[in-house]
Amino acid sequence: MPSSEPAGTVAIWLATRNGAAFLDEQLRSLAVQTHPSIDIWASDDGSTDATPTILSAWQDRWAKGTFSVRGGPGKGFAENFRALIANDAAQADFFACCDQDDVWEAHKLETALAWMRSQDGSLPLLFCSRTLTVSQSGEPIGISPLFRRKPSFRNALVQSLAGGNTMVLNRAARDIVALASRRSPFVSHDWWMYQLVTGAGGIVHYSPEPLVRYRQHGANLVGANTSWTARLGRLRRLLRGQFAEWSEMNLAGLERNRDLLTPDAIDTMELFARARGARNPFAAATGLKRSGVYRQTPQGTLGLWAALVLRRM
């Protein structure tokens, strides 16, 4: 575990809605982080359970920095995070996304910041990691896949690499993501941040160490990524056209923010867009190959090509 350094405040974006069952445990894991300076920025999206009471109690006793609670936009999970990301009132050196029902390992932030301090801080930097999936009661179930291919914009166009609950950004990355998020909605904040940071020429570090315990339960909006059932579910979504809808929204958002992207990222995006729109399967396949886009596993890349051939991309 890296040694602690007294440099930098971390602003944590915490999106909540009816999370009373597990929120207190999540906040306890934030309170015991080995990094000493943490501001909490919570956005509650219309909870009808005890979530506001829990947030208020923690606000009164938070000792690592400030603890702000605001009302969410009432338009769902993605828009709640978008409101947090776009909020300029949150001023810090680093920024992290937080769900309401997970548990963070105590050294999560310290590990992320140690990597960032080893990089050029003028570049957009994004740290993310694997997750340990746990049951509703906290018992380990499995671990998310270990992706081995290099994080890049060519991957980000067709795959969200890691959960937003694992992500930490430096100020340069946050400024790009915040500006882009004011201009455009997104499918999911984790995928959006991966696309923007890599598209802007930043660096993404994917840690093989699981630093978040992802709690799997009936109310989760997004399921775990640890089983063949989950993988088959993603393939079904790909082949029935849901991936095409997501790609359309992602590309529209990136187009609105093309001034933030590198020339190489723009070229890749345009080649991918043309491949998606090609009516001739040969032209589509040629375009996809030229774009260089890829998913992290051979099975995922095969599914991508199948969706292209079947015009589901």
Q: Return the SS3 of 1.
A: coil
Query: Which positions ≥6 away from 178 have C-beta within 8 Å?
Result: 85, 86, 88
What's the CATH architecture for 10-215?
Answer: Alpha-Beta Complex (3.90)
- Using one digit for the tens of pLDDT, what is the confidence trace for 230-260? 555 555 655 566 778 899 999 999 999 999 9
Average pLDDT over residues 170-184: 98
pLDDT of residue 42 exceeding 80, the answer is yes
Strands of the chain (E only): list them.
10-16, 38-44, 67-71, 94-98, 103-104, 125-134, 140-143, 168-170, 203-215
Give the confidence band of 37 by pLDDT, cuts at 50, 70, 90. Answer: very high
Give the confidence band of 304 by pLDDT, cuts at 50, 70, 90. Answer: confident
Nearest CA to 253 among 177, 201, 174, 308? 177
Query: Which positions ≥6 away from 270 have C-beta within 8 Å?
Result: none
pLDDT of residue 6 exceeding 70, the answer is no
Q: What's the pLDDT score for residue 176? A: 98
Average pLDDT over residues 178-206: 98
Average pLDDT over residues 67-76: 97
CA distance between the termini of the chain: 42
Give the confidence band of 221 by pLDDT, cuts at 50, 70, 90. Answer: very low
Decide: pTM greater than 0.85. yes
Angle at 213 between CA 208 and CA 218, to 5 degrees: 130
Ranges 4-8, 262-266, 306-310, most confident = 262-266
Q: What's the pLDDT score for residue 244? A: 85
Question: Where along the chain do its domains lie?
Answer: 10-215, 228-309
Strands of 172-232 (E only): list them.
203-215
Q: What's the pLDDT score for residue 239? A: 56
